[in-house]
Amino acid sequence: MGIFSFFKKKENLPPADLSKVQVDIHSHLIPGIDDGAKTIEDSIRLLQRFVELGFKKVITTPHIMSDFYRNTPEIILSGLEKLRNELSKQAISIDIEAAAEYYLDYEIEKKIERKGLLTLGGKYVLFELPFVAAPDNLYKAIFDMQMNGYIPILAHPERYSYWYRSFDTYYELKEKGVLFQLNTISLTGHYSPETKKIAERMIDENLIDFIGSDCHHLHHLEILNQARTLKHFHMVLESGKLKNKTLL
Q: Are 58 and 21 in contact (CB under 8 A)?
A: no
Cα 241 from Cα 248, distance rounded (Å) = 16
Cα 115 from Cα 150, distance rounded (Å) = 9
pLDDT value for 210? 98
pLDDT value for 67? 86
> Residue by residue, what is the 3-state secondary structure of 86-132?
HHHHCCCCCEEEECCEEECCCCHHHHHHCCCCCCECCCEEEEECCCC
Q: Are 228 and 211 in contact (CB under 8 A)?
A: no
What does each C-alpha distance from 158 to 110, 161, 200, 240 come to in angstroms? 27, 8, 9, 20
- The CATH-assigned architecture of domain 18-247 is Alpha-Beta Barrel (3.20)
The domain ranges of the chain are 18-247
pLDDT value for 11? 65
pLDDT value for 3? 45
> Residue by residue, what is the 3-state secondary structure of the chain?
CHHHHHHHHHHCCCCCCHHHCCEECCECCCCCCCCCCCCHHHHHHHHHHHHHHCCCEEEECCEECCCCCCCCHHHHHHHHHHHHHHHHHCCCCCEEEECCEEECCCCHHHHHHCCCCCCECCCEEEEECCCCCCCCCHHHHHHHHHHCCCEEEEECHHHCHHHCCCCHHHHHHHHCCCEEEEEHHHHHCCCCHHHHHHHHHHHHCCCCCEEECCECCHHHHHHHHHHCCCHHHHHHHCCCCCCHHHHC
What does each C-alpha distance from 3 to 11, 12, 13, 70, 193 come to in angstroms? 13, 15, 18, 52, 22
Cα 214 from Cα 157, distance rounded (Å) = 12
pLDDT value for 26? 98
Task: Measure CA 96 to chain center.
Answer: 15
Per-residue model confidence as pLDDT tens for the chain (248 residues): 444 444 444 568 999 999 999 999 999 999 999 999 999 999 999 999 999 999 999 999 999 999 889 999 999 999 999 999 999 999 999 999 999 999 999 899 999 999 999 999 999 999 999 999 999 999 999 999 999 999 999 999 999 999 999 999 999 999 999 999 999 999 999 999 999 999 999 999 999 999 999 999 999 999 999 999 999 999 999 999 999 999 99
